[in-house]
């Protein structure tokens, strides 16, 4: 499948041929959901923690005598029903990550790329470069291209001026091709690939 290539100035820069095995699949929602769930679970800190009754710093003496008070038979003041006591079945620090086969992750990325192409939200730019690290100039350039909510994927090395100019623009993310992932692709409206990124992706999935 051929797709038009443009420059950052909006001029035509020829065409690029996209592999059907990477960009031409029928997107599966269930597969994309599995990969996104895996990504977000892995991203969770899992540092939420409450004190159980064994961790509360409080006397272990019996609160009052067993019989004759007319009250319920209590022992420790660390029990969950008392103010200042430990929390019953509270959260503990743990990892939320779960396994997902490498082949499923790779297939999920292909389906995300295919989904963007199918919805006509995929743009190929010949090169990401800027003469100076000025956010205002790049913002005007993106405005002409209609990029208000986009993920830009460059080659293995990003142009430093372009990276610095783009990092302060809201709703625009810039990543090297090694950092491409399903969640970032689908959370942004447009996917913008450089020619180097297209070549790297097709080489990766060859």
If asked whether residues 26 and 71 sit together in one domain, one would say: no
When pLDDT is averaged across residues 139-147 and rounded to a whole number, the result is 90
* 12-21, 45-54, 88-97, 104-113, range with the lowest pLDDT: 12-21
CA distances from 5 to 106, 120, 126 (A): 25, 14, 6
What CATH number does residue 190 fall under?
3.40.1370.10
166-193 pLDDT, tens digit each = 999 999 999 999 999 999 999 999 999 9
Tokens of 1: 């499948």
pTM as predicted: 0.84
Largest Cα span, the chain:
93
2-6 and 12-17 as β-strands: parallel, antiparallel, unpaired? antiparallel
CA distances from 128 to 37, 90, 142, 175, 192 (A): 31, 49, 12, 11, 10
If asked whether residues 41 and 126 sit together in one domain, one would say: yes
Per-residue DSSP letters for 40-69? HHHH---------TTT--S--S-SS-SSSS
When pLDDT is averaged across residues 145-159 and rounded to a whole number, the result is 92
If asked whether residues 200 and 145 sit together in one domain, one would say: yes
């Amino acid at each position: 499948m051929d797709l038009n290539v443009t420059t950052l100035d909006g001029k035509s820069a020829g065409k690029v041929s996209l592999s059907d095995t990477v960009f031409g699949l029928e997107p599966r929602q269930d597969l994309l959901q599995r990969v996104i769930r895996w990504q977000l679970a892995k991203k969770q800190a899992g540092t939420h923690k409450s004190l159980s009754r064994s961790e509360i710093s409080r006397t272990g003496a019996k609160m009052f005598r067993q019989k004759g008070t007319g009250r319920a038979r209590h022992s420790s003041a660390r029990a969950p029903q008392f103010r200042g006591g430990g929390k019953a079945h509270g959260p503990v620090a743990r990892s939320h990550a779960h396994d997902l086969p490498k082949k499923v992750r790779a297939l999920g990325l292909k389906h995300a790329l295919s989904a963007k192409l199918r919805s006509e939200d995929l743009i190929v730019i010949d090169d990401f470069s800027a003469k100076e690290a000025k956010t205002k100039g790049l913002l005007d350039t993106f405005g002409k291209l209609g990029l208000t909510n986009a993920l830009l994927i460059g080659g293995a090395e990003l142009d430093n001026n372009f990276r610095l100019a783009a990092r302060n623009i809201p709703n625009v993310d810039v990543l090297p091709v090694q950092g491409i992932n399903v969640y970032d692709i689908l959370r942004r409206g447009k996917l913008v690939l450089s020619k180097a990124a297209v070549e790297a992706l097709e080489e990766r999935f060859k």
